[in-house]
Amino acid sequence: MKYTSGDIKRLGGSIVKNKGYVTDPELELLQEYRKSFIEPLTQSFNKLIKIKNNVSKDGIIAFRLKRIITIINKVLRNPQMHLNRMGDIAGIRLIFDTDDQVYRALTFIKNEFEISGRVRNYIKNPKTIGYRGIHIYVKDSTHKKLIEVQLRTREYHNWSTLVEITDLLYNTRLKEIGYDNHPEFGEFHRLISSNDELSEDQANHLYNVLKKYQFIDKLSKTFRRNNSEVKKQWHAASSKSRYFLIESSTEDVPKLNGFVNYDLAEEAYFKAYKNNSESLLVLTAIQKPTFDQISVAYANYILSYHTFIRDIEHIIKSLALEALEQGKTKKFKKIFETYEELEANSLIHIFTSKENVFLSRTKNRLILSSFGKISSRKQKLIRREIQKKLRQRQRNHLVFMNEIRPLIKGYKLKNILCKSFLRKNGKRTMKRLKNIKIEFDYSD
């Protein structure tokens, strides 16, 4: 299909005029325009792989074309912006461990690419909702098309994917609109992203949002439902797959399909979009993909685990201790139950963190299943690693309990009740875990 820049500009005008409705010919035109970025995107991606490897071989790099529905929504939010000038149709994301690595990569990019416009440094100047990262527009050397490059640390990336998970689970639009879309959740995410020590009021805001929206419970159920099934889909994909089409849902397990050929992958994406334009679809490419990498890079689509469950724990512990210091026994119990929920989920993650094993249910217990035969030596290594993590988890728990004990000394009724409540901690945790055994059951 031949088209001009003017055709794309008029398409954007039509989208605005018709409030997001597009005819079939217009949709075909929009898809052709998206696909015109594939070659320059791939070319830029290959150059950025070398930069990433120079900075850190452990970094993650992925690319994607902007989703059709996201393009339409962005045009509607910015009616004065011409579609043919939208700068982030094609995007590449690099994820590193530290800010220093991010800035080193930025220096390499400035030296290797033609840069368009200013660098947006949201590390120095975070967005109101707390977003941190660096965005820079580059031009590919052949077609001179704009490619948006995003650089983040894992910490900033984990925060960003949590925002998108919130949008999916609670039907908010924090990523698109920002803080004002839902000030309560907006403040919640701003506080999570903060590097400053939280005040008691701020920590209480986090806890109150967790409880009001049953945030941890909702996350946990979603992750437990998805972990094994998504892993099965990953292992069913060809080992040569480099492109991955992921369709997420709050109701069903995400669907993951691997492709060796990008054109076929894009064909599958467009077909899926036409079947359901409201579905949450992303087509991505990852260099030397592993399940861990795709789970980090697209945690908001895979929906099988998020570091938030681990990272929020220290705040919950601090709030529990503060409640005891203030003599608020009922509040302490509620907060401690939240801690128990986090503890149970952390224990489950210890069992499911390996790529080649998953939990399956047999009668009244859960056991470890594998995607292929595991040698006795490998089984011993997995058991040893799991047991090491369990011991560390137990040590952390004992430290917390030792901090609690001095605050419930004596024979006041509320202290006696607290001691009785805490004695049942193990039973409540085991009830959540449902008697997981470190046994191996081969699964086809």
Pair (321, 294) in one structural domain: no
Whole-number Å distance between alpha carbons of 102 and 93: 11
| Lowest pLDDT segment from 68-77, 271-280, 348-357 | 348-357
Pair (144, 293) in one structural domain: yes
CATH number of the domain where residue 114 is located: 3.30.460.10
Tell me: pLDDT of 10 over 50: yes
Tell me: pLDDT of 434 over 70: no
Closest by alpha carbon to 96, among 296, 236, 374, 243?
296
Tell me: pLDDT of 139 over 80: yes
pLDDT band at 179 (very low <50, low <70, confident <90, very high): very high
| Domain range for 24 | 5-153+238-302
Last residue of a domain, one of 302, 327, 346: 302
Is 21 part of a structural domain of the chain?
yes
Pair (267, 129) in one structural domain: yes
Last residue of a domain, one of 280, 302, 324: 302
pLDDT, residue 441, reads: 55
Pair (147, 283) in one structural domain: yes
Check if the beta carbon of residue 340 is closer than 8 Å to that of residue 348: no
pLDDT, residue 444, reads: 44
Tell me: pLDDT of 437 over 60: no
Tokens standing for residue 122: 């949201």
Q: What is the pLDDT of residues 388-420, one digit of tens each?
A: 988 998 899 999 999 999 999 887 888 888 888
pLDDT, residue 345, reads: 85
Closest by alpha carbon to 84, among 10, 179, 186, 157?
10
The mean pLDDT of 181-193, rounded to a whole number, is 95
Rounded mean pLDDT of the chain?
90
Q: What is the pLDDT of residues 11-35, one digit of tens each?
A: 999 999 999 999 999 999 999 999 9
The strands making up 90-96's β-sheet, listed across from edge to edge, are: 114-121, 134-139, 146-153, 90-96, 60-65, 280-286, 243-248, 255-259
Pair (58, 118) in one structural domain: yes
Pair (100, 11) in one structural domain: yes
Task: Give, to the nearest 10 degrees, the angle between helix 200-212 and helix 313-325.
Answer: 110
Is 228 part of a structural domain of the chain?
no
The mean pLDDT of 2-12, rounded to a whole number, is 94
pLDDT band at 78 (very low <50, low <70, confident <90, very high): very high
The strands making up 357-362's β-sheet, listed across from edge to edge, are: 357-362, 365-370, 436-442
Check if the beta carbon of residue 339 is closer than 8 Å to that of residue 425: no
Pair (243, 316) in one structural domain: no
Pair (148, 284) in one structural domain: yes
**DSSP codes, 68-117:** HHHHHHHHHH-TTS-GGG-TTSEEEEEEESSHHHHHHHHHHHHHHSEEEE
Pair (146, 249) in one structural domain: yes
Last residue of a domain, one of 273, 302, 331: 302
Domains in the chain, number: 2
Whole-number Å distance between alpha carbons of 294 and 226: 14
Per the confidence metrics, is the pTM higher than 0.85? yes
User: Across 287-430, where does the E strand assignment appear?
Assistant: 357-362, 365-370
Q: End-to-end distance of the chain based on CA atoms, in angstroms? A: 45
Is 337 part of a structural domain of the chain?
yes
Pair (434, 336) in one structural domain: yes
pLDDT band at 438 (very low <50, low <70, confident <90, very high): low
Q: Where does residue 49 rank: exposed (0-12), middle (13-18), buried (19+ CB within 10 A)?
A: middle
Q: Where does residue 380 rank: exposed (0-12), middle (13-18), buried (19+ CB within 10 A)?
A: exposed
pLDDT, residue 432, reads: 63
Residues 6+ apart with CB under 8 A from 171: none
Whole-number Å distance between alpha carbons of 188 and 363: 40
Q: What is the pLDDT of residues 244-295, one digit of tens each?
A: 999 998 788 999 999 999 999 999 999 999 998 888 899 999 888 888 889 9
Pair (280, 427) in one structural domain: no
Tokens standing for residue 169: 């689970």
Pair (270, 398) in one structural domain: no
Q: Measured over all CA atoms, what is the biggest interatomic distance in the chain, rounded to whole angstroms?
A: 84
Whole-number Å distance between alpha carbons of 216 and 214: 6
Closest by alpha carbon to 246, among 67, 25, 45?
67
Is 285 part of a structural domain of the chain?
yes
**HSE-CB of 107 using CA atoms within 13 angstroms:** 8
